[in-house]
Structure 1
């Protein structure tokens, strides 16, 4: 990697000379640390696996009895008990495995013969889930289902479902096309100088395109050890490939590796009033998202030798140890996380944290989190380019509040706010981040429109203060409606030293189609941008740029999902001046089709 170190150093030298930092930069080059420390690879937006029909937030949860008894008190007790046992609340992300596991446990109740569920796209763009309970009659019980029991192909992907033991197969396939005109503003040599993800020729001036895809296949299951104690686990693998002119390379690649490989247990009790206390513990390779992805979402990296850069096929961390305690709608969780980073840019980061969530009133979620870095080589820099320290020792304190009217298909205002503070155990650090969002949902109108405005702030480092203030984005991301801020602009400026304004609308022209247009404006908090894209290390203007994009989502069935995107990104004065040329506007187009069994 020595040649990449020199290439990056020469590029940065042109900027740092303006500030008299030549000697300091050469000292860093001599230590051989520049390649690993100064290069910040652009990340992809998290499409593929995270945007399927079943990963939408839940709008409504309906529990019905197919054959109710004349005793309405008994019926109510069954449905209320199932709701508490299921523990799915509006705003939660639907998890098909978790729902199936909960149903498998509930079926052991002698009063219940069967439970099925169906779902549909809700009026506010989320998921309406309906659970139907069939009560046992004349001592009959659920006889079981699944291909291994019935030899019926119609039962797939369920392989075995009897007496609380549930095993299912997973098969997910995705094919994606992505095109760019003037990627990296038509100046990849400057924007990608020294970036270790570059292999061969990167995309740049003019039109370029590529195709990629993946197969995700595996087994997941749960079985009881007693009436209240269940063990579960999952094992899967992903095969991915890319061909064509990608953002960083023109090399065709293929890669297969284990994805999920975890085990855990769940137990709990329900008191006479129906309040449910549950414990859940798991460990192994698995995905983890902290709250709304403000701090942690991208627990695995894609691209480079793994291919599938934009499909973001991989999510499972190298190791996640997760313990959760929930009481009705309240949850406390503790975690240890070692993300699955690309070997070429592995920062050896290890995180641990706590997260508390509570629902004080219907529609409102109040929460707080603490995250600390137990180990990491990810580097922070002084304004003169010298190394200040590493992420090892970072402390993150976070508080958030969101509100949406309930039921979710009801018109009305919604809002959210969050604030974070970062300090460090080894040196003075005071980095801050926050956002505020407000909007209104008109779900009772044609096309069920909603409109919202979000202002977000991630601090930069002010050279005139003694503290280090540049916000560390950790593993923030998710999708374009979470913390991937701009489909293309996020690749240039991630969630650090940036003030972003977003106007977003949502429309439902058809029951199975959602359209999401966005308008963005990006500004730098500080003109000192060391630690970001090397081409933008020192800024002469605060205006990064602008973007307009539109996403179209089509859910033809529970198995199929089609997703399209158009994005137009305009460089601002900060980018134009830093690139010392005439950067071009960047146009991007993407389309993928996903099938999930």
Structure 2
């Protein structure tokens, strides 16, 4: 049986695990001493510990800023995140300087009993305790889901429970509440202990893609501990070591291989609002020296019980950022354990023993302003136990008109290729996308189309435009063309096991985002997927375009 997975399309927070495009630091109430202001800004930049090109984590940033505030006149820091011009996130740190007495009194509800900064419960002498509270309410509608052919496209799918969406218009509502506590405390001048514990309640009601049954579910999300230490040498070199273990979220780059470390849908509900990201277990060791980062990790993804492949992934990732605007990275992954199967017309192979060799590069000489940018990524897959050679690669080229034209457009074109299996050879060649995905601007390729064809045996062309009508709004129109690499597609959707042609279809879509405030965001989309005559011939029945609409309101405190 092929692996089925509920597909993530809308991350709980647009900024988490996004590529960091820029970091700016401002002092809300600067001192009359300009030298002091410069020292405090430098302290924050050094203490933040993340740089352009890194994967941004709000929790890690909050912890690092708490360490930077310790023993300084900086009483408070606020992280303001906005979309970057090329699809990442731009961060502004707003610092507040306070008197020595205010520093001595500390900050947070447990210190002064006031709720003006409810998320901070305690912040004094390097010990920091904050509350996380966020939620999403979402409406989702489909017209002619599954090309109005749910029976052949969902045959044998274990996620189907009762009546799935299909011909005609259907809709549902869903959402979640995520609450937790995150803390850090110093063990010495340069070493701190940290951890987090949180839970998510999610629910769905209405005619969803796989079911019409109402569901509610509570589960633990984050449950981790870690230790971090480091410092700055007399010559200005920065060194940081961070080790953590437990349930937590993890991703590499923009999610080409590792993004969806947890699954949603099924009895958990919230299929599209996608609240769960934490792996069942993540063991992570990171070391950074200036602009060089090395990390070793072991991931046990939190898969749905209905489709749990019991896969574990071990990996090593090296990233180097050069001052000439070139970011480069190498990664190796190994799968020591898995029950996931690959299918050919004559054999069944196991994912166990998979080796993945991955390389990435990005050139963007003016990350915060107008200019050209280029990026590329490639992966080669082999297996310890049998002859396998599968590949995937992507290249993107774009130009940002940031602050140089009305609506500051960014235009880009991306080509991506994921190999399929050639049945005329003994070698297995179908690419395994592992935990690829995240959202429709990363590796969810087509808002609707991705639910039918995932990132295997697929060639895609994406034309994308980013527009900023105002500082608080963003429009992202996309146009996709989809083609199969091979007509043999065993391991994908069973209705398309053997495809009668290569061209699969096209999808235009439009995403709208309104950042109402730092704590409130509204997002919506409309997408129309047009199946090709190849798809119609393969299914063997008439097909209709699949149109979807969605909007959600996200609040975080």
- TM-score bracket, normalised by the shorter chain, equals over 0.9
Alignment pair present for 1:471 and 2:434 = no
Give the 3 Å change call, closer, same or farther, for CA 276–581 of structure 1 in structure 2: same
Hey, what does 1:30 align to over in structure 2? none
Aligned counterparts of 1:468 and 1:460: Cα–Cα separation in 2: 9
Verify the 8 A CA contact 2:294 2:319 in the aligned structure 1. Answer: yes
1:574-589 aligned at under 5 Å gives the runs 574-589=534-549
Aligned counterparts of 1:475 and 1:333: Cα–Cα separation in 2: 18
Hey, what does 2:456 align to over in structure 1? 496
How big is each residue's C-alpha offset from its partner over 1:319-346, in whole Å with a ceiling of 9 and x where there is no partner?
0000000112221000000001111111
Residue 572 of structure 1: how far off its partner (Å) = 1.5
Verify the 8 A CA contact 1:349 1:375 in the aligned structure 2. Answer: yes
Hey, what does 2:7 align to over in structure 1? 44
Hey, what does 2:394 align to over in structure 1? 435
Verify the 8 A CA contact 1:460 1:525 in the aligned structure 2. Answer: yes
Tell me the secondary structure at the aligned position of residue 111 of structure 2: helix
- Determine which structure has the larger helix proportion and give its number: 1
Verify the 8 A CA contact 2:53 2:327 in the aligned structure 1. Answer: no
How big is each residue's C-alpha offset from its partner over 1:304-331, in whole Å with a ceiling of 9 and x where there is no partner?
1110001111111100000000112221
Hey, what does 2:365 align to over in structure 1? 405
Hey, what does 1:207 align to over in structure 2? 169
Give the 3 Å change call, closer, same or farther, for CA 64–209 of structure 1 in structure 2: closer
TM-score by length of 1: 0.89
Alignment pair present for 1:285 and 2:244 = no
Residue 121 of structure 1: how far off its partner (Å) = 3.1
1:141-220 aligned at under 5 Å gives the runs 141-220=103-182
Hey, what does 2:377 align to over in structure 1? 418
How big is each residue's C-alpha offset from its partner over 1:338-396, in whole Å with a ceiling of 9 and x where there is no partner?
00111111110011000000102343210011111010010011233x31x21110000
Aligned counterparts of 1:113 and 1:490: Cα–Cα separation in 2: 46
Alignment pair present for 1:377 and 2:339 = yes
Verify the 8 A CA contact 1:165 1:221 in the aligned structure 2. Answer: yes
Match of 1:129 among 89, 92, 104: 92
Aligned counterparts of 1:147 and 1:87: Cα–Cα separation in 2: 27
TM-score by length of 2: 0.95
Alignment pair present for 1:567 and 2:527 = yes
Alignment pair present for 1:315 and 2:277 = yes
Tell me the secondary structure at the aligned position of residue 517 of structure 2: coil
Match of 1:117 among 71, 74, 78: 78
Residue 409 of structure 1: how far off its partner (Å) = 3.0
**99-108 or 278-287, which moves further after superposition?**
99-108
Tell me the secondary structure at the aligned position of residue 198 of structure 1: coil
How big is each residue's C-alpha offset from its partner over 1:180-201, in whole Å with a ceiling of 9 and x where there is no partner?
1110011110000010000001
How big is each residue's C-alpha offset from its partner over 1:418-476, in whole Å with a ceiling of 9 and x where there is no partner?
11000000000000000000010111111010110000000000111221000001010
In structure 1, the gaps of 5 or more residues are 1-37
Residue 514 of structure 1: how far off its partner (Å) = 0.3
How big is each residue's C-alpha offset from its partner over 1:68-113, in whole Å with a ceiling of 9 and x where there is no partner?
57574x654543343222122234344332222122212223x434
Aligned counterparts of 2:302 and 2:23: Cα–Cα separation in 1: 34
Residue 520 of structure 1: how far off its partner (Å) = 0.3
In structure 2, the gaps of 5 or more residues are none
Aligned counterparts of 1:119 and 1:531: Cα–Cα separation in 2: 43
Verify the 8 A CA contact 2:19 2:254 in the aligned structure 1. Answer: no
Verify the 8 A CA contact 1:184 1:586 in the aligned structure 2. Answer: yes
Aligned counterparts of 1:163 and 1:71: Cα–Cα separation in 2: 25
Verify the 8 A CA contact 2:47 2:67 in the aligned structure 1. Answer: no
Match of 1:547 among 479, 484, 507: 507
Give the 3 Å change call, closer, same or farther, for CA 175–71 of structure 1 in structure 2: closer
Hey, what does 2:218 align to over in structure 1? 256
Verify the 8 A CA contact 2:417 2:458 in the aligned structure 1. Answer: yes
Aligned counterparts of 1:211 and 1:378: Cα–Cα separation in 2: 32
Tell which structure's C-alpha radius of gyration is larger: 1
Tell me the secondary structure at the aligned position of residue 49 of structure 1: coil
Tell me the secondary structure at the aligned position of residue 235 of structure 2: coil
Residue 528 of structure 1: how far off its partner (Å) = 0.7
Give the 3 Å change call, closer, same or farther, for CA 290–344 of structure 1 in structure 2: same
Aligned counterparts of 1:50 and 1:460: Cα–Cα separation in 2: 33
Aligned counterparts of 2:294 and 2:19: Cα–Cα separation in 1: 20
- Determine which structure has the larger strand proportion and give its number: 2
Tell me the secondary structure at the aligned position of residue 487 of structure 1: coil
Matched length: 553
Verify the 8 A CA contact 2:3 2:340 in the aligned structure 1. Answer: no
Aligned counterparts of 2:93 and 2:196: Cα–Cα separation in 1: 26
Verify the 8 A CA contact 2:5 2:263 in the aligned structure 1. Answer: no
Give the 3 Å change call, closer, same or farther, for CA 498–148 of structure 1 in structure 2: same
Hey, what does 1:364 align to over in structure 2? 326
Give the 3 Å change call, closer, same or farther, for CA 317–120 of structure 1 in structure 2: closer
How big is each residue's C-alpha offset from its partner over 1:270-325, in whole Å with a ceiling of 9 and x where there is no partner?
10122110000110011111121000111111111110001111111100000000
Alignment pair present for 1:84 and 2:46 = yes
Residue 42 of structure 1: how far off its partner (Å) = 4.9
Give the 3 Å change call, closer, same or farther, for CA 542–149 of structure 1 in structure 2: same
Verify the 8 A CA contact 1:242 1:252 in the aligned structure 2. Answer: yes
